[in-house]
Amino acid sequence: MGIKENVETILSELPDGIMLVAASKTRRPEEILKAVEAGIKIIGENYAQEAEEKERVIGNRVKYHFIGHLQRNKVKKIVRFIDMVETVDSLKIAEEINKRCAPLDKIMPVLVEINSGREPQKAGVLPEDAEELIKKISNLPNIKLVGLMTMGPIFGDPEDARPFFVETKKVFERIKPLVFPNIEMKYLSMGMSNSYMVAIEEGANIVRIGTKLFGPRT
Ligand SMILES: *Cc1c(COP(=O)(O)O)cnc(C)c1O
111 Cβ inside 6 Å of ligand 1: no
pLDDT band at 163 (very low <50, low <70, confident <90, very high): very high
Pocket test for ligand 1, best of 47, 192, 212, 213 (most atoms within 8 A of CB): 192
Q: State the pLDDT at residue 13.
A: 96
> What is the 146 CA–ligand 1 centroid distance (Å)?
20
Domain boundary assignment for the chain: 3-214
Cα distance between residue 148 and residue 3, in whole Å: 28
CATH code for residues 3-214: 3.20.20.10
135 Cβ inside 6 Å of ligand 1: no
205 Cβ inside 6 Å of ligand 1: no
Average pLDDT of the residues of the chain: 96
> pLDDT digit string (tens) for 185-197?
999 999 999 999 9
CA distances to 27, 145, 209 from 54, in Å: 9, 26, 18
> What is the 113 CA–ligand 1 centroid distance (Å)?
14
Cα distance between residue 101 and residue 106, in whole Å: 5
Q: State the pLDDT at residue 155.
A: 87
- CB contact set of 203 (below 8 Å; sequence gap of 6+): 165, 169, 172, 188, 190
Q: Which ligand 1 atom is at minimum distance from the Cα of 212?
A: 9
Q: Whose CA is nearest to atom 6 of ligand 1?
A: 210
**What's the gap between Cα 2 and its chain centre?**
25
Q: State the pLDDT at residue 1.
A: 72
